[in-house]
Amino acid sequence: MRILNICAYTWAIGGPARIIYDHTTEAIKDGHQVTILSPMTPGEKMYDVPEGATLVPCRRTTPISYVYREFSLDLYAYLKNHIQEFDIIHIHGIWHFGSLAPFLIKNDVPKVITIHGLLDRWAIGHSRWKKELVSFLYQKNVLAKADLIQVNNTDEVEDVTRYLGHEPKNLVIIPNGMRMEEFAQLPPRQFFRTQFGISPTTKMVLFMGRLNIKKGLSLLLPAFAHYLKSHSDAVLVLAGPDDGYQEETESFIAEHDLADRIKLVGMLTDSVKKAALADADLFILPSYSEGFSIAVLEAMAAGVPTLVSDRVGFGDYIQQYDAAYLTALTAEEIQVGLSTMLQDENRRIRVKENALSMLKQNFDIAQVARQLLAAYTSVLKK
């Protein structure tokens, strides 16, 4: 099978790139050919490419791409010249040019679209007018023309149904997976703390993700500041690239004189990211909207107890296994969660052990990748 993935395949994009990497690795093991078509800007750090896969970077066309995400004439030209060379086109996400381009070119290649949480109520409400315009112009028609719509959970089934006005027959639920062995051996403890001047006795709370409004930073920052009023034992590490919320974050830190308690460390990759996970006492992601958070899966696989909102994409599994502290999306509830988890070591130990059991039983990447490849095969047979 010749598979084409379309996605901005960069470290900054986060989860979708990791998902493509893991599925591509498994597909190549099974003898399939995989190409990744990625809009990019010069200087961006492209995500690692699995051995045997092909990455085709396409320059974003500016200034149009500033208004219309991922717009790229190079991407369109590549598809026009090569689209019939593939058996399956897998489009990651919606609202961007890469999700439209394959439908603008005459071809008969089956198309799979993964929603990645972009139809939940918060995501739809953010920049609503743009999404209403895109919906009117093409997005609903594109989803109707797709041969398969992949979602990660039952919440997304409801999101798609609400958006289209009916539940499509070509919809399949396949969760994200995790390569557990990658986190079996982490760097020695204290490496990250030493690098960033964090005391070995201080409890380290780690946020890892894009600095974006949807990640819940407007709730996390005041919640952590309030926690510090009654406890002076913790530091919050914000690890991720700026995606529209760094200026607000820096202003909050300065206004509340928290430079020694809230550290912005930028995007972490490879061994430095694993070192941060090795040193963390608690991972936190109070996100408003996630398709199926890879960052949370990685923290759990690394044995870090987690505090998350029920919008991370697998809240039903978390509840079933008691695999994390689930918080409501208010600063007050997040502060309660911080106090509960940071002051109860036994609770942290129990939660992280439950999370590891949950991952091994439900989200092993080999098992999940087989589900996706079977879905591809089903589409081809039709």
Place of tokens 């914000």: 238
**Are 249 and 172 spatial neighbours (Cβ–Cβ below 8 Å)?**
no
Instruction: Count Cβ atoms within 10 A of the Cβ of residue 154 and give its class: 0-12 exposed, 13-18 middle, 19 or more buried.
Output: exposed
**Which run of H or E residues covers position 341?**
helix 331-342
Residues 163 and 167: their CA atoms lie apart, in Å, by 9
What pLDDT is recorded for position 125? 82
Same structural domain for residues 203 and 120? no
Range among 162-171, 173-182, 329-338 rated most confident? 329-338
Q: What span, in angstroms and rounded, lies between the C-alpha atoms of 231 and 57? A: 48
Give exposure, 304-334, as e/b (b: 16+ Cβ within 10 Å).
Answer: bbbbbbbbbbbbebbeebebbbbbeeebebb
Are residues 268 and 280 located together in one domain of the fold?
yes
* Model confidence band, residue 115 (pLDDT cutoffs 50, 70, 90): very high
pLDDT at position 42, please? 87
User: How confident is the model at residue 308, as a pLDDT?
Assistant: 96
pLDDT for the residue numbered 289: 85
What pLDDT score was predicted for residue 154? 85
From the list 157, 163, 6, 3, the residue with the least C-alpha distance to 92 is 6
Confidence band for 302, pLDDT divided at 50, 70 and 90: very high
pTM: 0.82
Q: What is the mean pLDDT of residues 302-322?
A: 92
On whether both 188 and 122 belong to a single domain, the answer is no
- 250 with 376, same domain? no
| 173 and 207 belong to one structural domain | no
> Is residue 308 a contact partner of residue 296, using CB atoms and an 8 Å limit?
yes
Residue-number span of the structural domain to which 193 is assigned: 180-362
List helix spans (H) across 126-280. Answer: 128-134, 140-145, 154-164, 191-196, 217-230, 246-255, 270-279
Whichever domain contains 28, its CATH number is: 3.40.50.2000
Q: Give the torsion sign (CA, 276, 51, 40, 216).
A: negative
Helix or strand or coil: residue 207? strand
- Residue 111 is predicted with a pLDDT of 97
197 with 103, same domain?
A: no
Co-location of 36 and 152 in the same domain:
yes
Rounded average pLDDT over 3-13:
91
How far separated are the first and last CA of the chain, in Å rounded? 15
Per the structure, the count of domains in the chain is 2
- CA dihedral angle for residue 99, residue 102, residue 108, residue 110, rounded to 10 degrees: -30
Task: Indicate if 235 and 90 belong to the same structural domain.
Answer: no
Q: Count CB neighbours of 133 within 10 A.
A: 12
- Give the number of other CB atoms < 10 A from CB of residue 212: 20
329 and 369 housed in the same domain: no
Q: Using CA atoms, how far apart are residues 46 and 43, in angstroms rounded to an integer?
A: 9
DSSP structural state of residue 139: I
Q: Is the model's pLDDT at 246 over the cut of 80?
A: yes
Q: Same domain, yes or no, for 213 and 306?
A: yes
Mean pLDDT of the chain: 93
Residues 116 and 196 in one domain: no
The residues facing 234 across adjacent strands are 203
> How many angstroms from the chain centroid is the CA of residue 94?
14
For residues 296 and 306, is the Cβ–Cβ distance under 8 A?
yes
pLDDT at 15: 81
Task: Reply yes or no on whether the pLDDT at 291 is more than 80.
Answer: no
What residues contact residue 221 under an 8 Å CB cut-off, 6+ apart? Answer: 249, 252, 253, 262
Q: Quick one: tokens of 28?
A: 């190549």
Over 80: is that where the pLDDT of 14 sits? no
Measured distance CA(265)–CA(271) in Å, rounded? 14
pLDDT tens per residue, range 332-371 = 999 999 999 999 999 999 999 999 999 999 999 998 999 9
- In this predicted model, what pLDDT tens digit does every residue of 202-215 receive, in sequence order? 999 999 999 999 99
Q: Does residue 311 surpass a pLDDT of 90?
A: no
Phi-psi sector, 299: left (phi>0), alpha (psi -120 to 50), beta: alpha
The pLDDT value given to residue 297: 93
pLDDT band at residue 77 under the 50/70/90 scheme: very high
Residues 83, 15 within the same domain: yes
Structure tokens belonging to residue 111: 């198309």
How far, in Å, are 88, 119, 264, 286, 368 from residue 245 at the CA level? 36, 21, 12, 15, 33
